[in-house]
Amino acid sequence: MKHTLFFAWICFLAIVLLLGAIPCGAGAEALFDGIVPSDVQGWIDRQLTENPGDGAEWYVLALSQYKEYDFSSYESALLAYLKDNTVSSASSNLKYALCLAAVGSTDGYILKTVNDSIGKQGLMSWVFGLHLLNNRYKSDTYTVSDVTAKLLSLQCADGGWAITGQYGDVDATAMTVQALAPYYKTDDEIKAAVEKALAFLSAKQLDGGDYASYGVPNPESTSQVLVALSSLGIDAKTDERFIKNGNDLFDGIETYKLPSGEFCHQEGGEANGHATVQTLCAMVSYLRLKDGKSPLYILDHADPEKARPAPTVPSNTPETDREEPTESTGAYKWWVSLILVGIGGFLCVLLFVLKKRHIKNYIAVLLVTAAALTLVCVTDFQSADEYYNGEDEVKENAIGTVTLTIRCDAVAGRAEHIPANGIILDVTEFAIAEGDSVYTILTEAARKHKIQLENDGNAKYAYISGINYLYELDYGDLSGWVYLVNGERVSVGASEYKLKDGDVIEWHYSTNLGEDYEIV
């Protein structure tokens, strides 16, 4: 959700043509003609190089696995970023090491990360670590067999894998399969585990060909499955297990394509760079399958034989930089209405002066003015003080009470806006009415206790990206807000979980999607 918009618009165009061209069997070169700037090398040296550590690594990895380019400028920029910033997430360190390996870097950061970070942050640190081991980088601690055995031990009973909890998750399952893919045809135990995972993924596919994560259908999950299938040598366009109601994964991904060619996280939503780059990686992975090349994560340019010894990397803690929201005033309707009436009157006078005096012109102006006035009257914009009113929500038909707490123990005290004790809201009781969801109570808590809240979804499909100015991805790729009810991680979105009397709700900020906090 935080990738540079410049990258996004280029990749939006790329994906549109990729999706249109793949069924026609067009060659790889034809797919990229005119999609990225004609001076691709210049684009890499300038725009991509200007944004190391901010999402450019996935664009770089995709390009490096598609065609020959010189990534030396980007490599230097990323190494400078890593020298000047502390990356606290083991999974993020492994991701950056993977990107450096993809561009053929021999810097010691790769070996340092292989030795220091594998298995240090739950499932994804095993997955990303295995990708590096699959490319023949050596760890002083773990072998390929060690890591594959660990991943197999983490498989859920339903055949999937999960960051946390006992039920499989589509994204985690697909990403684990991607890492295990090189051994699918040679190791019987891994093959059996992957077959169970494929059955799980097939069952989770929606009728539109796409997938949902935490109750929200999205292209990112669909793209991860496409990468997994392509890595196994499975053609997602022809395998009947992954065609539902006549729709395959490509149909599912296209559901999220906007008229501009951009991709959104939710159908009907706004353009989302994260959705776009994951789809781009999926397209490159599929093209590699069709061209008879290795899986996406078996890197063409990795050179472990020339990898240099690990250096000591200085630590400097980066600061979170967030703009405070601009407050609006609630006393706006009168003067906005007056301005609209004035504009309408001016347009009528202008039509008269220009001798455009047909009655239809005046009617059009009046209708537009009336529509604008209606919008102002029915819309209730509120200032921050009006919204965060400090008052209880009155519920005459309450069916019981629940408690809510909001904590950020994993990053307590690491910035001025983060409480030193990790408590944003201590255990607090709220009344509930029939149909109230976890999201309902969270918004009530935010209003009453004046806690900033940011929802990147909507009321029906809420996606909480920020609480108290603490946002997802602030502390690594796996950082963000997760919630539990009665001590259990829930697999649906906060707006979909309906509450009952006595429920205990906990919101936690995690740097590893739930594996780094203790249930209070």
Specify whether 338 is located in the same domain as 267: no
| 212 within a domain of the structure (yes/no) | yes
Indicate which CATH number applies to the domain containing 205: 1.50.10.20
Specify whether 393 is located in the same domain as 293: no
CA 480/CA 388 separation, integer angstroms: 23
Identify the bridge partners of residue 161 per DSSP, sorted by sequence position. 169
- DSSP state letter for 49: T
CA-CA-CA-CA torsion for 458, 460, 464, 465, nearest 10 degrees? Answer: -30
| 322 within a domain of the structure (yes/no) | no
CA 429/CA 63 separation, integer angstroms: 52
- The whole domain housing 339 covers 333-380
CA 148/CA 152 separation, integer angstroms: 6
CA 244/CA 210 separation, integer angstroms: 9
| Region at 429 (left for phi over 0; alpha for psi -120 to 50; beta for the rest) | beta
pLDDT < 50 stretches in the chain: 1-36, 313-331, 383, 386-387, 518-520
| 516 within a domain of the structure (yes/no) | no
Q: What's the token pair of residue 484?
A: 């539990």
CA 503/CA 191 separation, integer angstroms: 41
Total Cβ atoms within 10 A of residue 54? 13
| Among 380, 411, 446, residue at a domain's last position | 380
Identify the bridge partners of residue 264 per DSSP, sorted by sequence position. 271
Identify the bridge partners of residue 244 per DSSP, sorted by sequence position. 247
SS3 state at 121 = coil
| 323 within a domain of the structure (yes/no) | no
Specify whether 16 is located in the same domain as 149: yes
Specify whether 99 is located in the same domain as 196: yes
CA-CA-CA-CA torsion for 320, 326, 327, 331, nearest 10 degrees? Answer: -170
- Exposed / middle / buried, residue 1 (Cβ in 10 Å: 0-12, 13-18, 19+): middle
CA 162/CA 155 separation, integer angstroms: 8
Residue 515: its pLDDT value, please?
A: 62
Specify whether 429 is located in the same domain as 359: no
| 221 within a domain of the structure (yes/no) | yes
CA distances from 398 to 389, 439, 442, 451 (A): 21, 17, 17, 24
Residue 255 makes CB contacts below 8 A (sequence gap 6+) with: 208, 209, 210, 217, 219, 267
Which is it for the CA torsion 194, 199, 204, 209, positive or negative? positive
| 251 within a domain of the structure (yes/no) | yes
Q: How many domains is the chain built from?
A: 3
Specify whether 374 is located in the same domain as 397: no
Identify the bridge partners of residue 432 per DSSP, sorted by sequence position. 400
CA 209/CA 256 separation, integer angstroms: 12
Specify whether 391 is located in the same domain as 476: yes
Residue 390: its pLDDT value, please?
A: 57
Q: CA geometry: angle at 274 spanning 213 and 475, to 5°? A: 85
Q: How far is CA 74 from the centre of its chain?
A: 23
Q: In what order do the strands lie in the sheet with 504-510?
A: 423-433, 398-407, 504-510, 480-485, 488-489
Specify whether 368 is located in the same domain as 399: no
Segments in 165-248 forming alpha helices (H): 170-180, 188-204, 219-231
- Strand ranges in 43-156 using DSSP code E only, listed in sequence order: none
Specify whether 362 is located in the same domain as 440: no
Specify whether 120 is located in the same domain as 149: yes
Residue 332: its pLDDT value, please?
A: 53
Provide the CB-side half-sphere exposure for 67 (13 A, CA): 13
Q: What's the token pair of residue 119?
A: 């298995």
CA 482/CA 503 separation, integer angstroms: 16
Q: Say which residue the tokens 């990147």 belong to.
A: 456
Residue 8: its pLDDT value, please?
A: 39
Specify whether 189 is located in the same domain as 338: no
Q: How far is CA 174 from the centre of its chain?
A: 15
| 518 within a domain of the structure (yes/no) | no
Question: Residue-wise over 470-482: b if at least 16 C-beta within 10 A, else e?
Answer: bbbbbbbbbbbbb
Q: What's the token pair of residue 82?
A: 């890593």
Indicate which CATH number applies to the domain containing 406: 2.170.130.30
CA 512/CA 123 separation, integer angstroms: 9
Specify whether 412 is located in the same domain as 267: no
What spatial distance separates the first Cα and last Cα of the chain, rounded to whole Å? Answer: 29
Residue 161: its pLDDT value, please?
A: 94
Identify the bridge partners of residue 428 per DSSP, sorted by sequence position. 404
| 327 within a domain of the structure (yes/no) | no
CA distances from 451 to 117, 310, 381, 412, 438 (A): 35, 43, 18, 16, 16
| Among 318, 347, 380, residue at a domain's last position | 380
